[in-house]
A and B are shown apart, each in its own frame.
Chain A
Amino acid sequence: MINDLKDFSNPKKYNSLPSIKDQDIDVLKNMLSTMLLIRKTEQQLALGRKDGLIGGPVHLGVGQEAIAVGISLNLKKTDRVFGAHRSHSHLLALNPDIYKLFAEVLGKKTGFSKGMGGSMHLFDQSNGFFGSTPIVAGTVPLAVGAAMASKMQNLKDIAVSYIGDGSVEEGVVHESFNLAKVSKAPVLFVIENNLFASHMHISLRQPSDMISRFAVANHIPYKLLDGNDVISIAQNSKEIIDSIRNDKEPAILEVVTYRWYGHVDWREDIDVGVSRSIEDIKNWKARDPIQRLSKSMINSKIWTKDEENELINKIDMKIKNDWEKAMSDPYPSKESILNFVYSED
């Protein structure tokens, strides 16, 4: 494999503190707080799964929080976001209602998908989250169609398709890039390149580790960024999203990151993964998007360790309360099995 990503895929590089010069302090605090909320929520899901309280698989994105948080700052509630199997962060960055996420993952009626979806099928259309489903690349053409529709409807809404590095090994992604380009669909493809598809390292799956090469092939404008730098993602995605909205053209944003857990559930998967070692995980944890932002804010004296501890306590308390509430919620009725197959009216 050719290492076209160069230092982007090296955990020992790109680990400096992001520059927060000229940034709005409230926005910074908000990004830090949302990233922490998503991190701790997913850690709670890891525990719930380990303890056997969650029945189905959870695909956790701990370590990747900066991507959805940075991008969602630039999205509107009327935009059309589609996710995949690892999409808790994509949804929570649009609507941080962790109670509804807990309820859904626990299969409760009060969840985002009324307890019919679980972790892998999430829905919150009123906040712009059209749906996430776990067939790799399955929602990619749907996002293209939602973008084509926006143009037909004379709207300025865009579609967002979150995919991973593994998705480009599915043919439909290439059809979708091509269709998006020739139909000038206002869609942003976000490629979260975490170097792994399930247990397989990208070096064993593709001739290059840089997914943006397919942007070049389709004449789609793209940016390649450090996926663990929320400031850079927020700034760059603003530029890209503005141009998609105005020019009605697709774009690709490739963000290089790493997931701390294995493909599914709470384990680190160092035993099943090829090229996945304790050492790598340790190094990538040092490139943690949350710690990098927090340290940068503390260095600039706009944030303190005490404030951070206070925030963490608040989040922990919220997680505890919401989890307990969701645990005691009812399951969907037995009639739901047949009632939701077709529309009712």
Chain B
Amino acid sequence: MKTKKYDYGTAILSAFEYLLKNYKETFVIGQGLWSPWYVGNSMTDLDKKFGKNRVIDTPVSESATTGAAVGASLTGMKPIVVHPRMDFMLYAMDAIVNQAAKWSHMFGGQAHPGVTIRGIINRGGEQGAQHSQALHAWFAHVPGLRVVMPSTVADARDLLIASVLCKDPVIYIDDRWLYEQEADLAPIKEINLKIQKPQITLEGKDLTIIASGYSSFLVRNASAKLKNLNIYPEIIDVRILNPLNIESIVKSVKKTKKFLVVDPGWISSGFSAELIAKVVENLDINCLKCPPARIALPDAPAPTSRVLEKEYYTSEEDIISATKNLVKE
């Protein structure tokens, strides 16, 4: 099959182009869309190709903009809201959590807000505490929301299309630290979001490492170095955080008997806890050779200075060292 080279950003761009071209009920709304330098190369020239009526730059109003997209979705449209930094999306929590997530349930399944809300994690670069947060765990806590975190170039494209074509509200979270990845992709084939599951990205035997978003990328990179140390982890990319399908993860842990969770958010009450809980609930705890381990961000807001940033964020070395410890046991 003929493939084409993409990076993570142009893969997202190609998903937008596909949706706007093939689904007339699709529109995109958010801040900066007529000069989209906030979002890397993921939305370049969409307004010129598809018109300012369908690619809508907005006032500085996250709450009204997100609410408007929810309202439009109830009339049969397929809107995508873009929040170039997830931190600003907190202004829109009522529209997301109280309205979109609850709409189907409180009206007895008679209507579904098929809105996609893209929140970008945009940390590092000395941007500090309010331009950096990875809040996927908050959204994954809310029934009614589907939470998608693509870590690969292929998923960046295909899961965005699947999110928009899904009838339910979807929080699609991408991470600016993933944008430089490259891959050759086959032509677009639509997939059904509802049957997407965590994916084994590398088969192995010594332990299972479970990760999402940017953490998955780090784990994949670490695995090459681990191989040199004769350590063969099985790597699982969660992809769909809510509703979470735990089966393939449990199956892998039953095989390797050890597991490590790496998460791009904070550690306390975070998504790593949910993964560990769901795994241990679903197997005989005696089959584990050692307690599970996890790596996540310390319980502190992101610092600003680059020296502190280096200390704060998870590195490949952190993953290698935690893996070595687990394998030793």
Contact = CB atoms under 8 A, between A and B. Distances in A.
Contacts of B59: 175, 178-179, 182
- Which interface class (under 10, 10 to 19, 20 to 34, 35 or more) fits A? 35 or more
A270 interface: no
B243 to A, nearest CB: 8
A123 B111 contact: yes
Interface string A133-163: 1010011111111111110110000010000
Contacts of A123: 107-108, 110-111
A153 B108 contact: no
B117 interface: no
- Which interface class (under 10, 10 to 19, 20 to 34, 35 or more) fits B? 35 or more
Contacts of A138: 67, 94-95, 98-99
Interface in B83-133: 94-95, 98-99, 102-112, 114
Nearest to A179: B64
16 contacts: A113-B110, A114-B109, A114-B110, A123-B107, A125-B74, A131-B111, A135-B99, A142-B95, A147-B71, A175-B61, A175-B63, A175-B64, A336-B108, A341-B105, A343-B114, A343-B167
Contacts of A121: 106-107
Nearest to B114: A343
A149 B77 contact: yes
A171 interface: yes
A96 B73 CA distance: 27
Given A141-B67, A172-B94, A341 B143 contact: yes
Most-contacted residue by chain B among A153, A159, A171, A175 (CB, 10 A)? A175
Interface of B: 27, 53-54, 56, 58-59, 61, 63-77, 79, 94-95, 98-99, 102-112, 114, 143-144, 146, 166-168, 194, 243
Nearest to A141: B67
A336 B104 CA distance: 11
Lowest 8 CB-CB distances: which A-B pairs, in order? A141-B67, A114-B108, A145-B71, A145-B68, A142-B71, A175-B64, A175-B61, A123-B107
Contacts of A142: 67-68, 70-71, 74, 95, 99
Contact of B108 (A117, A171, A176): A117
Nearest to A143: B71
B105 to A, nearest CB: 5
Most-contacted residue by chain A among B64, B65, B104, B166 (CB, 10 A)? B64
A146 B74 contact: yes
A172 B144 contact: no
Contacts of B66: 141
A130 B329 CA distance: 58
A343 B72 contact: no
Interface in A76-131: 80, 82, 113-117, 121, 123, 125, 130-131
A143 B64 CA distance: 10
A126 B95 CA distance: 23
Most-contacted residue by chain A among B72, B99, B108, B243 (CB, 10 A)? B108
Contacts of A145: 67-73, 79
Contacts of B112: 342-343
A77 B67 CA distance: 23
A211 to B, nearest CB: 18
Given A123-B111, A133-B98, A141-B63, A113 B68 contact: no
Contacts of B73: 145
Nearest to A172: B63
A342 B107 contact: no
Contacts of A117: 106-108
A183 interface: yes
Contacts of A131: 74, 103, 107, 111
A141 B64 contact: yes
A343 B168 contact: yes
A286 B114 CA distance: 47
A46 B124 CA distance: 57
A332 B75 CA distance: 27
A336 B79 CA distance: 28
A332 B108 contact: yes
B109 A340 contact: yes
Contact of A171 (B63, B103, B104, B168): B63
A179 B106 CA distance: 27
Given A142-B67, A146-B72, A341-B143, A116 B106 contact: yes
A131 B102 CA distance: 12
B106 A141 contact: no
A176 to B, nearest CB: 5
A139 B54 CA distance: 23
A339 interface: yes
Interface string A177-217: 01100110000000000000000000000000000000000
A345 B112 CA distance: 11
A279 interface: no
A130 B67 contact: no
Nearest to B104: A340
A121 B111 CA distance: 13
Nearest to A336: B108
Nearest to A114: B108
B195 to A, nearest CB: 12
A141 B79 CA distance: 14
Nearest to B97: A135
B93 to A, nearest CB: 11
